[in-house]
Amino acid sequence: MTRRWIVTALGQDRPGIVAGVTKVLYWLGCNLEDSAMTRLEGEFAIMLIFSTPSKLTPEALRKAFVPLERTLHLAIHLKALSKKESHAPRKAGKSHLISVYGADRPGIVFKVSEALAKAGLNITDVHTHRSAGGGPSLYMMLLEVEVPATRTPASLETHLKQLAKRLKVQVSLRQSDTDIL
């Protein structure tokens, strides 16, 4: 019986991290199913969900990553997924993208995410970036959210405009192309 796992790997950004992690999975006959990988300042982070062949033991899987931890100086964590964790969650609504732009200050992510949660939106992905330069820093955030059928686009736009005014940021909303595919 195949098992599903999630692996996280974190380390100083350098060439070869993605190749190293996926090479271990390939050599073991695993199938990569879902992933998120990104550089955060000087660090690189990976999260991968994969399935293993039935003959692969948890011990052999863990042991296969040890050389990679040493050579690339990665912190690697493996977690077996239960049957409940292995099922993709049912979509809670239509996917939308929300972008937030404004002067950098503490609390933007918290205040936006709290307001979206109170409005019944489920955040499925978040990317943030703070620009560095000669002038004041600009904070940018892109969120993918699921908007429940009970929430109209017009009511959501109104809610986001109020939020933008309170936070002194610009907020925009558009339907995600993922619903079209």
pLDDT tens for each residue of 88-138: 666 768 899 999 999 998 999 999 999 999 999 999 999 999 887 777 789
Token pair listed for 72: 């690339």
Best CA proximity match to 33, nearest among 2, 64, 6:
6
Could you give the C-alpha distances from 152 to 94, 120, 144, 148, in angstroms and in order? 11, 12, 17, 8
* Gap between the terminal Cα atoms of the chain: 32
How many distinct structural domains can be found in the chain?
Answer: 2
Average pLDDT estimate for 156-171: 92
CA–CA separation, 165 and 115 (whole Å): 13
Residues of the domain holding 69: 3-80
> Residue 132: its pLDDT value, please?
75
Check residue 110 and give its pLDDT.
95
Helix, strand and coil percent figures for the chain, each rounded to 5: 30, 40, 30
**What was the pLDDT predicted at 178?**
62
Is residue 160 a part of any domain in this protein? yes
**Residue finishing a domain among 18, 50, 80:** 80
* Predicted confidence (pLDDT) per residue in 135-148, tens digit: 778 999 999 999 98
Q: What is the mean pLDDT of the chain?
A: 90
Give the confidence band of 65 by pLDDT, cuts at 50, 70, 90: very high
Domain identity same for 104 and 34:
no
Check whether 181 has a pLDDT greater than 50: no
pLDDT at 93: 80
131 and 64 housed in the same domain: no
Q: Using the 8-state DSSP alphabet, how is residue 179 labeled?
A: G
Tokens representing 137?
């820093």
- Alpha-carbon distance of 3 to 50, in angstroms, equals 8
If asked whether residues 105 and 170 sit together in one domain, one would say yes
| Stretch 168-172: mean pLDDT | 94
pLDDT above 90: percentage of residues in the chain:
72
pLDDT at 9: 97
Instruction: List the one residue out of 20, 9, 150 whose CA is nearest residue 92.
Output: 150
